[in-house]
């Protein structure tokens, strides 16, 4: 990656991580952010490593009983319980969700936790983490998840997080995404699809299926491309966290891939290889230029393989002192092959195919 590109991505990551840092207890988005950073290897920063502990301390200190009846607070606590159990938080959580279960999860105005997927996933994680004491609520919430499969909004953000919640509750859905839906997804939804297969493997696999266009490496390419060429922002800490985590993961994967492709070549070989690749890529322009002679002179024709080989040989001699033509390879399994050219100094060869 070039220095300007690294600088631009670094600035974007810093901006997203500041958005996360600006959120705190009792926002479920903040607790979800801590969950994202802890579940995707290698993306946590010093600040994100402190986030879960700070939220847990604030939750323990929060003794407002009215607040502990609210779905957003219970969802935030659910993430914390799942990642670091606390008997004090568990007791408050169980008392609060008993009241929550008396409410309609599918009201006509959609003003409930089911239609706020970060809350739905937090409640699901809390229900499992609470163990036997949360058993009744866990059964009720699993029923909500089963009924919700046909009610979930169509956008990727809702479907992805709700599918993860259903998996946590043991009521897996059978959702899948078409390539056209992913192509129309927002940047944060692409980031979510990169994160899901790591944090919730089964749900992620069902969503993405086997289409090559929906595999994580292709999604990472899309994410980096859009991050570079499109304005990227985040409406809340949850979206900021998943974008920051997925971007860090994509950048590291890209750097590792580039290093893996080049680490065996020393600098001289890399330079030689790049010259040859560039010559081959631009060779069609060279051919076209030969056809455009001065003053209407006859074009220099390239009609067969040997015309092509002679011209490429001449071009290689502009860059390399030792270009050896028609060199036989060593005997492998009783078979010899002949290389059109061997660049002895760079130990790189061009083989006839």
pLDDT tens-digit readout, 26-42: 999 999 999 998 887 77
Phi, psi of 121 (to 5 degrees): -65, -40
CA-nearest of 155, 169, 250, 148 to 207 is 155
Q: Is the pLDDT of residue 138 over 80?
A: yes
Q: What is the pLDDT of residue 270?
A: 55
Mean pLDDT estimate for the chain? 81
For the chain, state the CA radius of gyration: 29
Q: Tell me the pLDDT tens digit for each residue of 315-351.
A: 888 877 778 776 655 554 445 566 677 776 544 444 4
Buried b (16+ CB within 10 A) or exposed e, 216-250: beebbebbbebbeeeebebebbbbbbbbbbbbbbb
Residue 133 confidence (pLDDT) = 80
Q: What is the pLDDT of residues 193-232, one digit of tens each?
A: 999 988 998 998 888 887 766 688 888 888 888 888 888 8
Mean pLDDT over 258-282 rounds to 62
Residue 110 has pLDDT above 70, yes or no: yes
Please report the pLDDT score of residue 254 as a whole number: 67
In this structure, are residues 325 and 352 in contact, taking their beta carbons and an 8 Å threshold?
A: no
Calpha distance 241→244 (Å, rounded): 5
């Amino acid at each position: 990656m070039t220095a300007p590109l690294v600088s631009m991505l670094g600035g974007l990551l810093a901006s997203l991580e500041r958005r996360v840092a600006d959120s705190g207890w009792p926002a479920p988005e903040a607790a979800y952010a801590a969950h994202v950073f802890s579940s995707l290897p290698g993306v946590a920063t010093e600040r994100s490593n402190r986030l879960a502990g700070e939220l847990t301390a604030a939750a323990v200190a929060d003794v407002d009983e009215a607040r502990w009846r609210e779905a957003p607070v219970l969802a935030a606590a659910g993430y914390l319980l799942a990642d670091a159990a606390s008997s004090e938080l568990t007791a408050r959580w169980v008392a609060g969700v008993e009241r929550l279960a008396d409410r309609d999860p599918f009201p006509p105005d959609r003003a409930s936790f089911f239609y706020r997927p970060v809350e739905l996933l937090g409640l699901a994680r809390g229900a499992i983490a609470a163990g036997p004491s949360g058993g009744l609520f866990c059964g009720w919430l699993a029923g909500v998840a089963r009924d919700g499969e046909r009610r979930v909004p169509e956008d990727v953000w809702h479907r992805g997080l709700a599918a993860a919640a259903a998996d946590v509750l043991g009521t897996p859905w059978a959702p899948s995404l078409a390539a056209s839906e992913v192509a129309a997804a927002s940047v944060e939804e692409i980031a979510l699809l990169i994160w899901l297969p790591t944090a919730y493997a089964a749900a992620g696999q069902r969503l993405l299926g086997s289409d090559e266009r929906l595999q994580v490496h292709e999604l990472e390419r899309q994410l980096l491309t859009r991050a570079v060429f499109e304005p990227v922002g985040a409406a809340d800490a949850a979206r900021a966290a998943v974008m920051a985590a997925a971007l860090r993961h994509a950048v590291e994967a890209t750097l590792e891939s580039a290093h893996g492709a080049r680490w065996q070549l020393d600098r001289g070989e890399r330079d030689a290889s790049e010259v040859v690749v560039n010559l081959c890529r631009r060779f069609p322009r060279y051919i076209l230029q030969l056809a455009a002679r001065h003053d209407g002179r006859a074009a220099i024709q390239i009609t067969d393989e040997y015309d092509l080989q002679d011209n490429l040989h001449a071009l290689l001699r502009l860059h390399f002192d030792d270009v050896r033509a028609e060199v036989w390879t060593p005997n492998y399994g009783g078979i010899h092959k002949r290389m059109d050219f061997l660049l002895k100094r760079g130990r790189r060869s061009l083989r006839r195919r």
